[in-house]
Amino acid sequence: MSRLALIFCLTAALHGQSIAIQAEALHTVAGPVIADGVVLILDGKITAVGKASDVKIPAGLAVKRAKVAIPGLVDGRSTVGLSGLLNQSHDQDQLEASAPIQPELRAIDAYNGRDPLVGYLRSLGITTVHTGHGPGALISGQTFVVKTDATEVTRGVLKAQAMVAATLGDGARARDGKAPGTRAKQIAMLRSELVGAQEYARKLKDAEKGKEPGRDLRKEALAQVLRRELPLLVTAHRAQDILSLLRLAKEFDLDIVLDGGAEAYLVLDALKAAKVPVILHPTMARSFGDQENQSLETAAKLQAAGIPFSFQSGFEGYVPKTRVVLWEGAMAAANGLGFEDTLRALTLTPARLLGLGDRVGSLEKGKDGDVALYDGDPFEFTTHCVGTVINGVVVSEGEDTRPLSR
């Protein structure tokens, strides 16, 4: 090693962004499991991955060891940071109930990276969350993607605008004579909004310089959806709602992502033909209402059908205030999906689905140094997360569920 490189390494180590991780079982997701593997992270980025015998760890670099290492987990859909732990009105920002359609609401304007639940998830190995406005309104607002070590949104934001969140079915039904009161009305309202946004975009394009229409933030956000810059993330559970969504997507040539999908197993062919990826409802979500027919085996069926899907922690209105995507995956792993496919749906698939496949989701040279460490099979409920690393920094040394010391 040249003297210059050595100085560089030491400096990076001092800054805490360089580290070597050595694991008895290293799951890179990019390739087969490496027994006694090493991930080398320099200046926040992965520079080498391989067998311990093949990867030279620079002298003086901190080495963190664990039984099992996997890529930092990517939560496909959450409201964490917006739906706070206390569940009091002052810390619930995932749903603005004043109007059914508000695509201009941005997640970055509401995210509280210091909510204890963010830290809780981080301590269990979740390093990236796709979070923001929740289900519960026809269009509730936008989502964004952030690393779980970002206490402020001045850093760690991977995508300030990720998707526009919508809901179909009973979850978006308004009561007391307000619209939308029916499923057909929901689609009619969405169609009308999208047509309005189309016209707005056309007027903007056709207008002479200086004579453009005044800015309409709501239509601007939907115009981004129409231009396929932002996918429409639609929460729908019943088969009929999923099919309504596919019709709407075709009508407006939208880039859509299905969120939830409790009855997705009934419409696999249609989803596959429409090339729609799925962010599957939490495996252990409660089986009520539109979700009464959900199954623990839907993940395995999506996998068999070749439909890309990711797990999610979702939104909870009551207890538990957040689910843990790791455990939602675990339950699917035990119900037909198996270890490898589950791990992929917790890491690389959501990363790609979010357009971040070059940054996170697998342990490969050039990607962010995000790693989760466990003292056994991560999917066993009795296993502990023994460390979380983000951009080469150890951000957590263990769960807050660890044994009492007193």
Partner 1 sequence: MRPLTPALAPGLVFALAFLPVVAQEAPQAFIGARIIPMEGPEIEQGVLVVQGGKVIAVGGADLAVPAGAVRHDAKGKVIMPGLVDTHSHIGSPEGADSSAPIQPEVRVSDSLNLGSASVMKARAGGITSVNVMPGSGHLLSGQTMYLKLREGQTLDALAMGRLPNGSYLGGMKMANGTNPRRTTGPFPGTRAKSAALVREQFVKAQDYQRKLKEAGDDPKKRPSRDLAMEALVEVLEGKRVVHHHTHRHDDILTVLRLSKEFGFKVVLHHVSDAWMVADEVAKSGMGASIILIDSPGGKLETKDLRMTNGAALEKAGVLVGFHTDDPITDSRWFIREAAFAVRAGMSRQAALEGMTLSGAKLLDLQGRIGSLKAGKDADFLLLSGDPLSVYSHVEQTWVEGAKVFDRSDPKQRLYAVGGHGASHDTDDLTHLMALEAEETYQ
State in angstroms the smallest separation of the CB of 91 from partner 1. 9
Judged by CB under 8 A, the residue of 44, 71, 76, 84 near partner 1 is: 84
State the minimum distance, in angstroms, from the CB of residue 135 to partner 1.
17
Q: Which of residues 300-359 bind partner 1 (CB under 8 A)?
A: 316, 318-324, 327, 330-331, 333-335
Q: Where are the alpha helices (DSSP H) in 50-182?
A: 116-123
- Please report how many Cα atoms fall inside a 13 Å half-sphere around the Cα of residue 3, on the Cβ side: 0
For strands 73-78 and 126-132, give the pairing: parallel
Question: Residues 48, 295, 355, 393: which binds partner 1 (CB under 8 A)?
Answer: 295
Spatial separation of the C-alpha atoms in residues 187 and 178, rounded to whole Å: 15
Whether the CB-CB separation of 172 and 136 falls below 8 Å is answered with yes
- Taking the CA atoms of residue 59, residue 60, residue 64 and residue 70 in that order, the dihedral angle to the nearest 10 degrees is -50
Q: Are 132 and 107 in contact (CB under 8 A)?
A: yes
The whole-angstrom separation of Cα 120 and Cα 104 is: 29
Q: Of 11, 182, 192, 287, which lies in the binding site for partner 1, with binding defined by CB under 8 A? A: 287
Piece in contact with partner 1 (CB under 8 A), picked from 129-137, 167-175, 201-209, 288-296: 288-296
Nearer to partner 1, 251 or 292 (CB): 292
Within 13 Å of residue 123, how many CA atoms lie on the same side as its CB?
12
The count of chain residues that interact with partner 1, using the rule CB under 8 A, is 47
Rounded to the nearest whole angstrom, what is the least distance from the CB of residue 157 to partner 1 in the complex?
A: 23
Q: How far is the CB of 12 from partner 1 (least distance, A)?
A: 34
Distances in Å between the alpha carbon of 9 and those of 5, 14, 53, 54, 62? 6, 9, 20, 19, 11
Q: Does 158 bind partner 1 (CB under 8 A)?
A: no
Does position 263 bind partner 1 by CB under 8 A? yes
- Closest distance between partner 1 and the C-beta of residue 171, in Å? 16
The C-alpha atoms of residue 10 and residue 194 are separated, in whole angstroms, by: 55
Binding residue (CB under 8 A) for partner 1 from 294, 347, 362, 391: 294
114 binding partner 1? (CB under 8 A):
no
The binding site for partner 1 (CB under 8 A) comprises: 84-88, 116-117, 120, 263, 265-266, 284, 286-288, 292-297, 316, 318-324, 327, 330-331, 333-335, 379-384, 399-404
